[in-house]
Every structure is written in C-alpha cells, then in structure tokens.
Amino acid sequence: MNLKKKVKEFLKLLGPGFLTGASDDDPSGVITYSIAGVKNYKNFLWTPLFTLLLMYFVQEMCARIALVTKKGLVGIIKQKFGLVISLIFFILIFITHTLNIYADLYISSSILNFIWPFIPSFVFSLILGLIIIILIVVFPYKKIANILRFFALLMLSYIFLIFFIKINWLETLFYLFIPKIEFTYEYFTILLAILGTTISPYLFFWQAEEEIEELHQKQLEHKKISIKKEIKYMREDTFIGMLFSNIIMFFIILTTGNALNPLGIYDIKNIEDSILVLRYGYGEFSILIFSIFIFASTFIVVPVLAGSVAYSFCEIFNLPASLNKKVQESFAFYFISLLSILLSNIFFILNLPPIKALFYVAIIYGLLTPFVLFYILKVANDENLMKGYKNTLLQNIMVIIVLFLTSISSLLLISQILKG
C-alpha cells in the first residue's frame, strides 16, 4: 500500500470520535488547562493519562447507544425516562452551551482585536458567528465533517510551542506517571474544572448524534451497514479522538507552566495578557502558533455546541434534524443552531468576563456530569434497548469510576463553597 492510500485509510478513521475529541480542546478547555498549568503544572501533568481511559469508555458507551438504538441520547432518555427529564437536560444544555459559545467566540475575537485594535471585539464575534452559521447552513454533513477534520489537524500546531520553551523532560515524565495531589480547595476546584472540561456532557450528546449522521450518510451512499462492524470502527475512531484530545491537553498544561512561570506569571486573567506574555517571552511566531490553534478549535467547537443543542431540541419534539437536510426540511434544527450562536453575542453587551465564565462553565459541567452519566448508564444496561450490545462488566466499572469521581469532586467543591 503506497503512502497516499495509507493517508486515505487513516483519514477514514477520523470520524465522529476524532472530531469529538478535537472539540474537547476548545478555547474553554485551553483556559482551564492553562489555569492548571500556570498555577502548578507539575500537580496536573498526570491528569491527561488518567482522563484518556475514562473519556474513552464514556464516549464509547454514548456512541454505542446511538448506533444500536438509532437515536440520540436526549431522544433515548425521553423514551426511557419521560419528557420532564429530557426537557431539564435540554434547558441546561441550552444555557451552558450558549455561554460556552460566547466565551469561545470572545477569545477568538479578542485575538483579532489584538491584531486590529481599531475594530471592536464584538464586531469580530459577529463575523466569526456568521461564518460558522454559513458553514452549518450551506454545506451538507460530509463537507462539514471534512472541514472540521482540517481544522482539527491544524490544532496539532500547538505542540510546536515546545520548541520555544525550555522543558525538563525527565521531571515531566516523573510527574506524568507519579500523581502529585494536594488536598486544598484550589486543587480540587481546578481538578473538577479539568474533569468538567474533558468529560463534558456536550461531548456525550454530540458524538451520539454524529454517529447517526454517519449512518444516514452511508445510507445515502447505498453502503451496506453492519452494526457489529460500525461498533468496531467507532471504537477505533473514539480511541484516536480521545488520545488526540489528551495529547493536546498534556501539552497545554506543560507549555503554559514552563512558559509563564519563568516570567513570573502564576495566574491568567484574560487572553490578551497571555498573548502579551507569549510575545514578550517567545516572539511573534509563538503568537502565530497560539492563534492558529485557537481559531481552529473555535471553528470546530461552535458548530458542535450549537448542533448538540439543536439535535436535543428536535429529538424532544420529534422534529427532523440532520445536517444533510435543507433548511426548509429541518427548519427547527437550523433555527435552534443559529439562535444559540446569535444569543451568545448578548453576553458581549453584558460585558461578562470570558475567562471566569469559561472556568465556571467547566465547573458546572463537572457538577452536571454525574446526573447525565447516571441516566446514560441505565440506558446502556437495558437489554431491551441495547439488543445484545449492553455494557460489559469492565465498561460499567470504568463509567462508574467517572460517576464516582465527578460526584466526589462536586461534593468536595460544594462543601468548600459552603464553608466560605
């Protein structure tokens, strides 16, 4: 097999799982991981290795449910647990995703405003939002998936920052495999934020919906579908995606601490400060790399966030939802997608600080995750729904570990907040 064919075969593996993993490293994730890195990167270098397995088992379970039931998670939760539970999930998804979209667009527009300060960030946010809206409305699913793959691969540019920064690799390897845990409020707040960002509900809902989109795409292309083969392919794709996500996460934590701490920076207040410090310490090219990464992640995650809101809404009310359908065929789907993007710009008017907003959105995700996982876990163990593909003992153990950790972290955080 020649190189061209090998590349094509590899790219075929980059499906919903890969795109889901890439969308996990959005500007929200960058800020959360950067806060972890700048506070004390050695304490958190072990987390990507740990979250890799947890993310894989959770995402695999969500994708498997979708492939077997041919429904998204909100749809199957509605079927098993009723309208009220699914509506509660939708409302929480809508609020958090709209906030998340605002913060992601704010960060990207702040970089553009830094380059062209005479144009307000709000204008750049509207322009970026409009470009993403056009992407969603104009192109069919297959074209959108290819565009998102391109942006995902661009995200690898972040790794090149290591060539500008002095890193003690022996020390790095030590802290990667030997966890350093501190029993403090700040440590568990950051740890919960990391868990909330890496193991986030929007990833559950998005990958499930995109697995169904992939099935629809294969039906349009008259390809024979075998659920057993689809699950095998999905598992490979999901592992690649989660590995990609955690490699990027590792390098963000590592480079932030090693880049900013030597310059006397131990906290991040806004994206402009980060850019100024990078420029001062490491030159213009480091800014270019950072900017490419942020723009690539924004163009992946905003369609993911808006799309998962729209899919959830349509599943609750049994409305057609697909990126392969025209606007008139799936009006509600496109309307909700666009609404969440447009509403996010209201927070510009309210002047909501994006760094704090993102960090606390990550914490909210961490608090929400145990409840979402509880219901998904019950679905994944329902023999009538899963038709021979329900969770194995190992799959249950791994997801219960996630459920336990996110629950304990949430309780610790709540107790610390109540203590003041």
85 by Cβ neighbours in 10 Å (0-12 / 13-18 / 19+) ranks as middle
Q: Summarize the chain as % helix, strand, coil (round to 5).
A: 80, 0, 20
Query: Do the beta carbons of residue 335 and residue 300 sit within 8 Å?
Result: no
Query: Do the beta carbons of residue 29 and residue 177 sit within 8 Å?
Result: no
In terms of C-beta distances under 8 Å and separation of at least 24 residues, what long-range contacts does 128-134 make, across chains too? 128/298, 128/302, 129/105, 129/302, 129/341, 129/342, 129/344, 129/345, 131/299, 132/299, 132/302, 132/303, 132/306, 132/341, 133/337, 133/338, 133/341
368's CB contacts (< 8 A; 6+ apart) are 92, 96, 201
Residue 222 has a pLDDT of: 62
Three-state SS at 325: coil
Query: Do the beta carbons of residue 68 and residue 227 sit within 8 Å?
Result: yes
Residue 270 half-sphere exposure toward CB, CA atoms < 13 A = 11
- 349-380 pLDDT tens trace: 788 777 666 666 766 776 778 889 999 999 99
Four-CA torsion 190, 193, 198, 201, nearest 10 degrees:
170
Name the DSSP class of 179: -
Residue 282 has a pLDDT of: 67
Residue 237 has a pLDDT of: 93
Residue 65 has a pLDDT of: 95
Three-state SS at 315: helix
Query: Do the beta carbons of residue 71 and residue 321 sit within 8 Å?
Result: no
CA Rg value for the chain: 21
Residue 150 has a pLDDT of: 83
Burial 360-370 (b: 16+ CB within 10 A, else e): ebbbbbbbbbb
Residue 301 half-sphere exposure toward CB, CA atoms < 13 A = 33
The count of other CB atoms within 10 Å of the CB of residue 199 is 23
Residue-range domain boundaries for the chain? 28-419
Structure tokens at 184: 């403090």
CA dist 207 → 39, 143, 398 (Å): 32, 17, 19
Which ranges of the chain have pLDDT less than 50? none
**DSSP labels for 2-39?**
-HHHHHHHHHHH-SHHHHHHHHHTSHHHHHHHHHHHHH
Query: Do the beta carbons of residue 18 and residue 237 sit within 8 Å?
Result: yes
CA distance 420 to 414: 10
Residue 420 has a pLDDT of: 56
Residue that the structure tokens 């002047």 belong to:
351
Residue 355 has a pLDDT of: 66
Query: Do the beta carbons of residue 17 and residue 281 sit within 8 Å?
Result: no
Dihedral-angle region of residue 318 (phi above 0 means left; psi in -120 to 50 means alpha; beta otherwise): left
What's the one-letter identity of residue 207?
Answer: Q
> What CATH number labels 28-419?
1.20.1740.10
